[in-house]
Amino acid sequence: MAIEVITREDLNEFRTLLLSDLNTMFNSKPQQQKQWLKSIEVRKLLNISPGTLQNLRVNGTITYTKMGGILYYASSDLDKVLETNKVEATPNLFNRK
């Protein structure tokens, strides 16, 4: 049975490689968001029921594309809907001056 000795130089080289790999991981671009989402993905994202999603489609709140019986939603359209329906925080009883 052969014994392998690890030297300080080996450890320093390992540390340098590890730091380089970690730096690459943290500085890499995050995965791009999917451009088109299916109904189940939208429901999970917004935490809504199938009926609520249908209501949002019917009243024109959320746009969609239908292909072969499958509904697709553009993630950019969902972002726009969320942004336009954002309600700004208003001062309440506890924030009085």
pTM for this predicted structure: 0.58
Nearest to 38 by CA among 79, 91, 84, 75: 75
Sign for the CA dihedral angle at 78, 70, 48, 57 comes to positive
Digit-coded pLDDT (tens) for 30-71: 666 789 999 999 999 999 999 999 999 999 999 999 999 999
Phi, psi of 46 (to 5 degrees): -95, -5
